[in-house]
Structures are given as C-alpha cells and as structure tokens.
Structure 1
Amino acid sequence: MRRLILTILLLLASPASADERGALIGPEDLPSMGNILVLEVSAPGISTPMAHIPGAIHTAFAEDGWTMDYPGLPGMLPPTDELAKRVGALGIGADRSVIIVPTTTDDNGYAAATRVFWSLRMLGHAKLYLLDGGLPGYMAGGRTMTDRLPRPHPITYHPTPTKRWRAAIGQVYEGSSAGTPPIDLRPTSGFMGEVTHPLVKQPGTIIEAVSFPPGAFIDPATGQFRPLDYLAHIFEDTLGKPPGTVVLFSNMGYRAAIGWFAVREIMGLKNVRLFDGSMIQWDQEDREIYNPSNDMGGAIG
C-alpha cells in the first residue's frame, strides 16, 4: 500500500522552481559552449527528423546498435570494444564535448537519449550534456535549422571504461542497508502487475521496489525535465538520509535511463546504478517478485 501511495502523491505533486541542473542544459546555452558535437538521437520507431540543429550528427538508437541482445535477454549494454567502435564511427572522440539531443520528448525519446548518455558515461566519457526539451524545444524558439546532416568522419575512440554506473543482478539491493529501495521506472500498470512484458512471466515488481514512472522526472506538459527542487522533494522520504546506492530498473533498462540521468546528473547523487537486465533478467533467474495488486484485492483501474 505504501508503494501505491508514493506513486499517487508523486502524480499529484506540483513542480517547484528550477535550480542548477549540471549536465542538463537549455537551447540558450549552446552558443556559449564553443567546440561541441551535437548528437541527435532518434528512439526506436522514430524516423530521422527533417530539420536539424546546424552541424549536428544523427544516430538511430535501434539501428546503430546502442544495445546488444543476448538469448532471451534483450537491450543489454554492449561490450566495451563494440560500443567504442560504434561511438568512434560517429566521429566522437573521448575528449570531445558532446550534447545529446532527443528528437522527441515523450518517454520513448528521452529514454533513448538518456540511455545513450549513460552508455557514454560507461565508456568514461566526461564532457557530456543533454538538451532539455530536445529538438522540439530548440525549434520552438525560432532558432536556425537545416535539412542537412553532415557525414560523420570515423575515428578511433579510446574508452576509459567504468563499472560504477551499472548494476549487476546481485547489486540490486545494494542500497537497502541505508533504506534506499530499488526504483521501478515502468508505467504504474507494470508496477501494479496489470501489464507485463512478453519476456516476463510473473506480474509485479522486484521485492521492496517503489514506483517512479517516467512522469516523475519529465513534465509531459513542457517536454522538459522537472526542476531539481521538485525532484529532491519527491525523493526526500524514499532514498534514505543520507541515501544509499540508488538502483533503477524497468523492463530492460531502457526507460530506467531517464531516472538514472535525473538522480545522477540533475540531483547529483554519487552512487547511482542502472540495472540493464531489469525485470526480464530478474524474472528469468526466478527471483522473487511482489505483485501489489494482490494486496489491493485485485488489479487497479
């Protein structure tokens, strides 16, 4: 019941004013950022846009191989050498400042962009930013656009890989001793056990998890991330004081990247991990699953 109440309070809360956002920047910041590479990211099922930020390059999340499928386990982080090849093919060097731009600002668009951001962080890439409001927000300001996409000049990417931002299945409860539960980024219907992914047999969620769907982090009315003080407020009673390691998951670690970006890059917490195996791996290894609907006398809605 407490998990359901947290979700309801989250959806009813009012956002507060914006504060310093770290890696999250606005369109007005681009002219002052010097020699940057703008990387537009299209989510699966989304066509390449017709208009672009001048000088930007484009990547299609699915077609360009930002994840790797293993038997029965889709959407995993590729091995470091494979990922480095794909990044280098886009002309991105390890010391380049990169601004990632979602081409759409729904859950799907931000999930693809933040998952690319997380993947680059896993390679050790330091100079990374994400454009709040994405391509639609940039266009809405009446800024100059182009219909041309330059051809990337492939280079060798030299990674300095880290394991810091990724959770293995044995690390899901790493924050529990500090009172920090795993965070479920799926829609509430998935958390409640009303809807399951085709590769997940059992309805429900990971034991002890709390539900923070993507709307917790992104305001659908503006297509922008919610302000820092709003995020701090909704997490105040959830993460523990001080917070332990925060582990975020979804069905296959795709939408979980939205929460990872918000908690790590906007809120600035130091120990934040994305569990890319997520519910699919948890279920396949027959880990215990909690179905909130069983506590409510049946499914809600």
Structure 2
Amino acid sequence: MNDADFLVSPQWLAEHLDDPLLVIVDCRFSLADPELGQQQYTANHIPGAFYLDLNRDLSSPVGRHGGRHPLPDPLKLANTLAATGINSQETFVVAYDDSKFAFASRLWWLLRYLGHDRVAVLDGGFTGWQAAGYPVTAEVPVPKPAAFVPVPQQERVVDIEYVKAHKDLPGVLLVDSREPDRYNGLREPIDPIAGHIPGAVNYPWQAVTDDQGRGLSASEQKRRWVEGTQAKEIIVYCGSGVTACVNLLSLEMAGIPTGKLYAGSWSDWCSYQV
C-alpha cells in the first residue's frame, strides 16, 4: 500500500480485503435524506467496511455560526476512528461513497488533518465496486482493538476571520467548490443567502471525477489547477465544508498540497449576514 496513492481501484481493494492493516469505511450519505446512508449500509456494503455518518461522526453539532457541518472534535473523532480499528500511522484506510467522492473525501481530509496520511478514496465508489462484480454483504464487522492519537494540522484549516484578512492579498486564490448556478447566486437550495464570497473563483467539485464517479488522472487534475500553480496560498470552500474536500483531494493529486479548508464555508460566511 502506497501512501502516495490518493485513489485505489476496486480491483486493488478486492485483492486486499483480508489485509490486517486495512480498514474500509463506508461514507455514503444524502443531504436530502440524512438516514439514507446508514440504511444503504445496513442493506449491503463492501465486506469488512464500517459505517461513519457525516452528521453524527464526521461533523460537530450545528450552532449559530460555524456552518452546517462544523469540524468534529478531534478527540471524539479519534475515539470513533479507533472504534473502527484504525491505528494512528499504521492502518491504511480506504473510504468510499456513492457520490463522486463527496463524503469519502471528507473522511480523507479529516484523517490527514489529524495527522494520518495513510488514507485513500475508492475510485468509482460503491457503484464502481458493484459494476466490477465484487461481493457485497450485510454483515457488520467486529473491529480490532486500536488506538488513534490525533495530531491536528492546524495549518490545513482556516476560519472566517482568516478568510477576510487574506482573500484579497496578492497570490491568494479563494476557491468556491459549489455548482456554477449556486456560485453565481442563481439558485440557493440550502442557505439563507445566495451568491459567493467576493473575490472567489469557481471550481465545481463535480469536475474532479467523470460521469461514472472515477477520478480524473493526475495530469487532468493539474490542468484543472493551472491557476493554482501560480498561487502562494489556496483557500477552498463550498456550502458547508464537505464537498470542498473533493477539490482539496484534486489539488493533492495535481501536486499542489497547499490547499486550506475554510471549514465553515458559505453557510458560515452568510450566517453573519442574516
């Protein structure tokens, strides 16, 4: 298992299902139906996979500010990770979803934020796994005892005050990861105000993968980020700090590991304007 592999194929995963140093995490979720992911996992999942829920496990409770999916408490998340058998610096984690990396990338980013780089996303997600003819199960695995010690990489995350102070500085690229119509303020299905942070450019997160949910090649990711190669600092946001992680994954694949997450994102930014 290569720590530099940001994506793993269904074939690779199928060949390593019995690896004692591997933990698989099902991150399927639906913003429209928050219980759907758990229901899908209960029905069937990749053998050996554990389930982590975006709202319950990969986020903190929502407050007045901080966005719709605040980052989880590091110690609480560390305990959750250990409960799935993940050992710091040792276990190789493969995260998957069925949403073009939308939720698996959140776990990918959180693990790296906590100092654990041994993580990859399943290319093509659960659909790609099934399409390749690999098995699924309803059996919930029993975790092995593990210890996860979080070492938060604070330079990877910024707050609203940091964004305000840095977004207009020379060499800073502020990236909005949402769909173009939301970026342009033509539609806002979730947050109370439409539009984007002044000065932000639009790199929709859906463009990181193809129509089948497979990641574009490293060279194609690099072409996406031509503007980013000139930047001294890249700050990425979305609606609530979740799908922005897909763009942060894309930046890493493009060889630009300097992206920072504005964790509260647009939902935090506009909470100060209502």
User: Taking structure 2 as the reference length, what is the TM-score of the superposition?
Assistant: 0.84
* Amino acid paired to 1:284: S
Structure 1 residue ranges without an equivalent (≥5): 1-20, 288-301
How well do the aligned residues superpose, as a CA RMSD in angstroms? Answer: 2.4
Alignment partner of 1:253 out of 224, 238, 241: 241
Q: Which residue of 1 aligns with 2:28?
A: 42
Q: Which residue of 2 aligns with 1:187?
A: 179
| 2:10 is aligned with 1:27 | yes
Q: Which residue of 2 aligns with 1:14?
A: none
Q: Which residue of 2 aligns with 1:90?
A: 84
**Structure 1 position 128, deviation (Å):** 0.8
Q: Which residue of 2 aligns with 1:79?
A: 73
Q: Which residue of 1 aligns with 2:232?
A: 244
- Report the CA distance shift for 1:177/1:240 in structure 2 as closer, same or farther (over 3 A): farther
Q: Which residue of 2 aligns with 1:232?
A: 222
* Amino acid paired to 1:239: G
- Report the CA distance shift for 1:176/1:217 in structure 2 as closer, same or farther (over 3 A): farther
Instruction: Provide the secondary structure at the position in 2 that maps to 1:60.
Output: coil
Q: Bigger radius of gyration, 1 or 2?
A: 1
Distance across 2 between alignment mates of 1:197 and 1:279: 13
Structure 2 residue ranges without an equivalent (≥5): none
Instruction: Provide the secondary structure at the position in 2 that maps to 1:61.
Output: coil
User: Taking structure 1 as the reference length, what is the TM-score of the superposition?
Assistant: 0.77
Q: Which residue of 2 aligns with 1:294?
A: none
Distance across 2 between alignment mates of 1:22 and 1:174: 31
Query: Superposed, which structure 2 residues align to 1:1-301 within 5 Å?
Result: 22-30=5-13, 31=15, 34=19, 35-44=21-30, 45=33, 46=36, 47-49=39-41, 50-62=43-55, 64-73=56-65, 74-94=68-88, 95-102=90-97, 104-106=98-100, 110-153=101-144, 155-172=146-163, 174=166, 177=169, 179-196=171-188, 198-201=190-193, 203-220=194-211, 222-236=212-226, 238-241=227-230, 243-264=231-252, 266-286=253-273
Q: Is the 8 A contact 1:27 1:131 kept in 2?
A: yes
Distance across 2 between alignment mates of 1:269 and 1:226: 15
Q: Is the 8 A contact 2:113 2:153 kept in 1?
A: yes
